[in-house]
Structure 1
Amino acid sequence: MSTEPVVDVAGLSVRHRRTVALDRIDLGLGPGVHGLLGPNGAGKTSLIRVLATVSRPTAGRVRILGHELSGHRGLTAVRRRIGYLPQDVGFYPGFTVREFVAYVAWLKEIPAAEAGAAVERAVARAGLADRIDARMKSLSGGMVRRAGIAQAIVNDPDVLLLDEPTAGLDPEQRVEFRSLLRELGASGTVVVSTHLVEDVAVACTGVTLVEGGRVVYRGTPESLAERGAEGGPEGPGEADELGGSPAERGYTAILRAHRAASATPPGARR
């Protein structure tokens, strides 16, 4: 049996003019739900966009489902088998939810005989079955987000890439979405970029923390919470200062420790 990661990134760098968004990232992801955490500007969206084949890396190698993203054939094969929810969902305002999701099903080359059922199934899983024939322009922000989730899963993707998927969802909808994530992660690979640590703690099987365009931590939600008990650079006593849930304390402690180490002159490190 092959042990090759479903998502395999090596030496990945992305630069926007003079800004380094990602700096030589190495990352391998298998089945499950993987939370991608980090502060604003850390490089999460840049990484998701490269994996979604929306943007190209400046350097490095990306392989998804065994296909290199460096050539047309690999890009085409991967695009059929991934789902992608960007931060800003673009749509034609006159489309109904059904038409919006059906359009994406057509782009994903789902056979016409199967597309109708696939659209209805995806919309129902996203919690919008009662609004399937409503115009997109009539939806609230949270409903637009759920329509975006529906289009991302309409092709039952092997790899699902979600950028801030719970933005605009109310607490009850977030709970339902976490359940959907766990369901999707049981049979595929899901990558969730978010700033909500609790979404990761509850729904994810793995955690990757990005800071300054680099991976600074990889582990499980449980190990993240354990780091919260350990505290930051000042030791266990700092945990009391950090506040929040154990996972949130762990997230803050890791960032503080990384920043403290980065600020230390190389000659002073042991």
Structure 2
Amino acid sequence: MTSTTGTVHVSGLAVRHRRTVALDGIDLDLGPGVHGLLGPNGAGKTSLIRVLATVSRPATGRVTLLGHELSGHSELTAARRRIGYLPQDFGYYPGFTVRDFVAYVAWLKQVPGNAAGAAVERAVARVGLADRIDAKLKTLSGGTVRRAGLAQAIVNDPDVLLLDEPTAGLDPEQRVAFRELVGELGGEATVIVSTHLVEDVAVACTGVTLLEGGRVVYRGTPESLAAEAEAAEGAVKGPTQAGGPGGSPVERGYLAVLRHHRAAANATPTGANR
């Protein structure tokens, strides 16, 4: 067993899709709280989430969740009982009601039968769907189905909650409710939110990891990411100054970090170590 300081520990993680390197030597150590995972399309966010969810296996590296090194069947099974996972795209039977869908996942997660009914109702209520619990999924809007997906992810009170683009399709009021919920969940669990919406990270997250080209290029907090914008704008004044069209401080910090990283990568001589 690997010694860790957090509930999620990743060392030297590499993932390849045929000839494409999706993740290239990722090291992470995360504890309780809400951690935002940012990066452009193709940065490796979903690949990382899928490995942590035990859906994908890495090419190389070690992953430990909640003290279980994910290297064998028994360890995977033990970890899965304590994980909640909302994929970017998830399948469901359209004829299922919200209750049916969440109860099915509770059964998969081995929630005890005498506690499953109450667990389902509690999870559905937490995402604001108590009044739609017996509605069939095929009758619901995309955003409402997304909230049902979040309910199934939390029905087992997971210690590690993995959310891939969780606010896709949610309206502004629902996004605010989502931020409040993940903030509450992060008080005890390790919550990892992969998103393109930097503002969700700014409001809901206590930590930020930025990926680019399958590598970690930044670790910090929303506040430290915002400070990156101030540093960059102090050096070069332009239209992305506070109040300009460049977005919020955290969004501008995100762009400043990416630009700095890309400029440094482009300045590296061909054949030099990266």
Task: Say yes or no: TM over 0.5.
Answer: yes
Is the aligned partner of 1:249 residue 2:252? Answer: yes
Question: In the alignment, is the contact (CA less than 8 A) between 2:4 and 2:29 conserved in 1?
Answer: no
Is the aligned partner of 1:78 residue 2:79? Answer: yes
Q: 1:104 is matched with which residue?
A: 105
Quick one: which amino acid aligns to residue 205 of structure 1?
Answer: T
Question: In the alignment, is the contact (CA less than 8 A) between 1:89 and 1:145 conserved in 2?
Answer: no
1:215 deviates by 0.3
Indicate the percent of aligned positions where both proteins have the same amino acid: 76
Q: Deviations over 1:61-84 (max 9, x none)?
A: 000001011111110010000000
- What SS does the corresponding residue of 1:237 show, helix, strand or coil? coil
Aligned pairs for 1:177-216 within 5 A: 177-216=178-217
Q: Deviations over 1:123-167 (max 9, x none)?
A: 000111111000011110000100000000000000000000000
Question: In the alignment, is the contact (CA less than 8 A) between 1:89 and 1:144 conserved in 2?
Answer: no
Q: State the alpha-carbon separation in 2 of the partners of residues 125 and 266 from structure 1.
A: 53
Q: State the alpha-carbon separation in 2 of the partners of residues 34 and 172 from structure 1.
A: 22
1:229 deviates by 1.1
1:265 deviates by 2.8
1:90 deviates by 0.7
Quick one: which amino acid aligns to residue 97 of structure 2?
Answer: T
Question: In the alignment, is the contact (CA less than 8 A) between 1:83 and 1:155 conserved in 2?
Answer: yes
Aligned pairs for 1:1-270 within 5 A: 4-231=5-232, 235-238=235-238, 239-240=240-241, 243-266=246-269
Question: In the alignment, is the contact (CA less than 8 A) between 1:229 and 1:236 conserved in 2?
Answer: no
Q: State the alpha-carbon separation in 1 of the partners of residues 236 and 116 from structure 2.
A: 55
Q: State the alpha-carbon separation in 2 of the partners of residues 265 and 185 from structure 1.
A: 39
Gaps of 5+ in 1: none
1:3 deviates by 6.3
- What SS does the corresponding residue of 1:253 show, helix, strand or coil? helix
Q: State the alpha-carbon separation in 2 of the partners of residues 65 and 242 from structure 1.
A: 43
Q: State the alpha-carbon separation in 1 of the partners of residues 210 and 183 from structure 2.
A: 20
Relative to the length of structure 1, the TM-score reads 0.95
Q: State the alpha-carbon separation in 1 of the partners of residues 258 and 78 from structure 2.
A: 37
Question: What is the root-mean-square deviation in Å for CA atoms of aligned residues?
Answer: 1.7
Q: State the alpha-carbon separation in 1 of the partners of residues 98 and 150 from structure 2.
A: 11
Question: In the alignment, is the contact (CA less than 8 A) between 1:83 and 1:161 conserved in 2?
Answer: yes
* Matched residue count: 267
1:235 deviates by 2.8
1:236 deviates by 4.0
Quick one: which amino acid aligns to residue 247 of structure 2?
Answer: G
1:266 deviates by 3.8
Relative to the length of structure 2, the TM-score reads 0.94
- What SS does the corresponding residue of 2:168 show, helix, strand or coil? coil
Q: Deviations over 1:215-255 (max 9, x none)?
A: 000000000111111127x9342543771000000000000
Quick one: which amino acid aligns to residue 69 of structure 2?
Answer: E
Quick one: which amino acid aligns to residue 235 of structure 2?
Answer: G
Quick one: which amino acid aligns to residue 109 of structure 2?
Answer: K
